[in-house]
C-alpha cells in the first residue's frame, strides 16, 4: 500500500518557526543545499529585525541625554570594530592569527551587534566572494537590485542556514558553534544589561538625566540599527558608488564616506582585489581605523601575523594595469 505523508498542521508550522527563532541550526526539513532552499520569507527570523527597528521609536517617550548618546556611540564603535576586524577580516578571511580566548571574546562582541553568529557571517561572506555580483551572490545590486542587496536578502529562507562545510576551520570550536546556534542570546543580555545600567545611573547619578529605558533605547536599539545599516551599506552602496582602482570581476568600489562609517570597510575595491590582507586602505591616505586598531592589538601580542598587501598588487595599482588578477576565494 502506498503511504502518503500528512501535510504539517498550522500549529506544527508555528512551533517549528518558534523553535527556529531560538535555535538557528534547527531546520524542519534539514539544512538543504542552497540551490534547493525556498526563497520565501523566513518570518520567524525577521522578527528580531522588526523588533530592533520598532524599538527605536521608543525615543519619542524617553528623549535623549548626552550620556545615552555617548553610550550609543561607544557601542557602535566597539561593535563595528568587532564586525570589521574579527567577523570580516579574521573569521571570514583569516587575515591574522589570534588565541582561542581572543577569538571567543570578539565573537561575543560581534554577536552583540545582532548580526547573527560569526560562523554564519563568515560562511555567507565567503560565498559572496566566491560568487561576487554573479547569479549565486546572496546580495548583489547588479543581480537583484539595491534594496534586496541592502536588506531583503536577510529575510529569505534561502540565506538563513549556516553552511558549515564552508567554515570547517571554525566549526571545530564548540563555543563558536554555540554562539552561532543561539545567536539571540548575547544581544538579549546586552539589551537587559543596558536597561540595568540606566536604572542604576538614574538612582545614583541623577544629574546625568538618564534612566533605564533611555539607555536601552539609545544604547541597544538605535545604536544597533545604525550599526546594522552601516554594515549593510558595504553589500549595497559599496557595489554602486565610488571609484575602482582595480578591474575586478565584480562591481566593488572604493568610497571614503563608507570607509569612515565602517572604520575602513569602504575601500571595497581594494578588498576585492586582495581579500586576505589585514588592511583595506592600501595607502596611508586611505583611512582604515580597523587596521590601526589591529596593529595596536598586535603590539600587545593579542593578535599576530597580520597579512600585508603583496608588492605585486601595489605594482599593479601603480602601473594602472587593467588585467583581472583578483585573488581566488
The secondary structure of the chain in percent helix, strand, coil, rounded to multiples of 5, reads: 60, 5, 35
pTM score over 0.85: yes
How far is the C-alpha of 130 from the C-alpha of 328, rounded, in Å?
Answer: 8
Residue 311 forms part of a structural domain: no
Residue 8 forms part of a structural domain: no
Structural element, H or E, at residue 97: strand 97-98
Q: Is the pLDDT of residue 30 over 90?
A: no
Instruction: Give me the pLDDT at residue 40, please.
Output: 65
Residue 5 forms part of a structural domain: no
Could you tell me the sign of the dihedral formed by the alpha carbons of 56, 60, 62, 63, in that order? positive
Residue 78: domain span:
42-245
Residue 313 forms part of a structural domain: no
When divided into structural domains, the chain yields a total of 1
Percent of the chain with pLDDT over 70: 85
Residue 129 forms part of a structural domain: yes
Q: Is the pLDDT of residue 323 over 50?
A: no
If pLDDT is split at 50, 70 and 90, which confidence band does 158 have?
confident
Q: Is the pLDDT of residue 286 over 60?
A: yes
Residue 64 forms part of a structural domain: yes
Residue 218 forms part of a structural domain: yes
Residue 79 forms part of a structural domain: yes
pLDDT digits (tens, 9 = 90+) for 80-111: 999 999 999 999 999 999 999 999 999 999 99
If pLDDT is split at 50, 70 and 90, which confidence band does 7 have?
low
If pLDDT is split at 50, 70 and 90, which confidence band does 46 have?
confident
Amino acid at each position: 500500500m502506498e503511504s502518503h505523508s500528512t501535510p504539517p498542521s498550522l500549529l506544527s508550522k508555528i512551533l517549528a518557526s518558534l523553535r527556529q527563532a531560538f535555535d538557528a541550526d534547527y531546520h524542519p526539513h534539514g539544512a538543504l543545499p542552497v540551490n534547493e532552499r525556498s526563497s520565501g520569507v523566513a518570518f520567524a527570523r525577521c522578527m528580531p529585525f522588526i523588533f530592533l527597528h520598532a524599538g527605536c521609536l521608543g525615543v519619542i517617550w524617553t528623549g535623549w541625554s548626552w550620556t545615552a548618546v555617548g553610550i550609543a556611540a561607544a557601542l557602535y564603535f566597539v561593535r563595528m570594530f568587532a564586525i570589521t576586524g574579527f567577523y570580516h577580516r579574521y573569521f571570514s578571511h583569516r587575515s591574522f592569527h589570534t588565541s582561542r580566548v581572543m577569538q571567543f571574546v570578539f565573537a561575543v562582541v560581534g554577536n552583540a551587534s545582532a548580526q547573527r553568529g560569526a560562523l554564519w557571517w563568515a560562511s555567507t561572506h565567503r560565498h559572496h566572494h566566491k560568487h561576487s555580483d554573479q547569479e549565486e551572490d546572496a546580495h548583489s545590486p547588479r543581480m537583484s537590485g539595491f534594496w534586496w542587496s541592502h536588506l531583503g536578502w536577510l529575510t529569505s529562507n534561502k540565506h538563513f542556514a549556516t553552511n558549515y562545510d564552508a567554515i570547517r576551520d571554525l566549526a571545530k570550536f564548540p563555543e563558536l558553534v554555540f554562539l552561532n546556534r543561539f545567536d539571540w542570546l548575547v544581544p538579549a543580555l546586552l539589551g537587559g544589561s543596558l536597561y540595568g545600567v540606566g536604572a542604576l545611573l538614574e538612582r545614583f547619578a541623577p544629574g546625568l538625566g538618564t534612566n533605564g529605558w533611555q539607555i536601552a533605547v539609545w544604547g541597544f536599539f538605535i545604536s544597533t540599527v545604525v550599526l546594522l545599516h552601516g554594515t549593510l551599506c558595504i553589500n549595497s552602496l559599496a557595489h554602486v558608488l565610488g571609484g575602482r582602482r582595480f578591474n575586478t570581476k565584480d562591481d566593488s568600489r572604493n568610497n571614503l564616506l563608507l570607509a569612515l562609517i565602517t572604520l575602513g570597510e569602504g575601500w571595497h575595491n581594494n578588498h576585492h582585489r586582495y581579500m586576505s590582507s589585514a588592511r583595506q586602505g592600501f595607502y596611508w591616505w586611505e583611512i582604515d581605523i580597523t587596521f590601526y586598531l589591529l596593529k595596536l592589538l598586535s603590539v600587545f601580542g593579542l593578535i599576530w601575523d597580520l597579512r600585508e598587501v603583496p608588492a605585486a598588487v601595489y605594482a599593479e595599482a601603480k602601473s594602472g594595469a587593467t588585467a583581472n588578477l583578483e585573488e581566488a576565494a
